[in-house]
Chains A and B, each alone.
Chain A
Amino acid sequence: MKKFINEFLKGIVKENPTFVLLLGLCPTLAVSTSLPNGIGMGIAATFVLLGSNIIISLIRNFIPDRIRIPCYIVVIATFVTITELVMKAYSPALNRALGIYVPLIVVNCIVLGRAEAYASKATVINSLFDGLGMGIGFTLALLLISGIREFLGAGEIFGHTMIKEFQPAHILIMPSGALLVIGLLLGLFNVLKNRKI
């Protein structure tokens, strides 16, 4: 049991896909303009990661080594299509806000990275926990970035104004603000990491 918990926890802090592995940056930066968008993207990516990790781990012994990447891509694309159709049916507003970044989960490096580096070698249960942990780590990173951007850039959290007479810095909800926030966060994490040792 302890092993499973380790598999689960490593994706959240030690191997956080966004801040440590620097994978899947495109959706992270593009949709993190507000908290609801960030959460929606995080849940969609977690579902795809979980599904593709389980399926790829199940069929890992049947896939010929030379054509493994196209096989993984087909599995991942199937889950992305499911996500897209479900999102279109039940939450059209979210689908419109996320736009082309929903189909682009296919080329999110985290999903293919986990398939290639982990699920193709591990048992089903391990892959399940790995996918779940990575997905939650990704969602938490999105929450952090989109929380900072929404609070400082629009003065709101989940669309509610927090502090009256606060002059928001609109630059943070614009595209270049995303790059600034992630650059400074990475720098901050480096400082924290160096201090510990």
Chain B
Amino acid sequence: MNPAQFLTIFISAVFIYNVIFSRFLGLCSFIAISKETKPALAMSLSVMFVTTMSSVITWFIYRFLLIPFGLTYLRTISFILVIATFVQFVEMVIRKISPPLYRFFGIYLPLITVNCAVLGVAVLNIDMFFVNNKAVAGSFYYSLFQGICVGLGYTLAMLLMSGIRERLDLCNIPKAVKDFPLAFIIASIMGLSFLGFNGFRF
């Protein structure tokens, strides 16, 4: 395990290959929920939680179930099933334990099941930290950390976007680009500024 690797993972997951601006994962929720800051924050925190947990769970499944039994081609099916079950389970637990928290997060959790970012992180972890079906040294910690960082990148993009869109309410916008088209164009301009981080490539 190499401590410098963590810095590399952080910078590349949050800035260089930001989930939204560079990998386009979770775009649907990014466009749909970024109208106001508060729901945007709730959504991004839930995404961060789920990406982190699903990184951990899928690592264990891949390392201790799929590789020993030679079932790596079942990766997609098993991951999506486990993630869907996990999200459903968390939703039930939150509803039981804390109704206020459920009102804050609850409606966003089911949406996360089909958020590409979550499955995307799991697949990326496997692609990056397993070489020839062997876990590289420290791959568990790398996967966990990458899960957190991708969630952070998503939060960053959501907060920036919702801040801008809140201000747009007061502007005079041409009718043709109102709402979604304008959101895409803004995201594109923000993506341009994120391109500046490309020079940091390690």
Chain A residues engaging chain B, CB cutoff 8 angstroms: 22-23, 25-27, 29-30, 69-70, 73-74, 77-78, 80-81, 84-85, 100, 103-104, 106-109, 112, 171, 174-180, 182-184, 186-188, 190-191, 194
Contact = CB atoms under 8 A, between A and B. Distances in A.
Interface residues of B, number: 46
15 contacts: A26-B24, A70-B85, A81-B74, A85-B73, A100-B120, A100-B127, A107-B114, A109-B28, A109-B114, A175-B21, A175-B22, A180-B184, A180-B188, A186-B180, A188-B176
Nearest to A105: B76
A73 B127 CA distance: 22
Interface of B: 21-28, 31, 73-77, 80-81, 84-85, 113-116, 118-120, 123-124, 127, 175-178, 180-185, 187-192, 194-195
A190 B24 contact: no
Contact of B181 (A69, A171, A183, A194): A183
A94 to B, nearest CB: 17
Given A178-B188, A186-B184, A188-B176, 18 more contacts: A70-B84, A81-B77, A103-B123, A104-B119, A104-B123, A107-B116, A108-B116, A174-B195, A175-B22, A176-B187, A176-B191, A179-B187, A180-B185, A183-B183, A183-B184, A186-B177, A190-B176, A194-B175
B77 A74 contact: yes
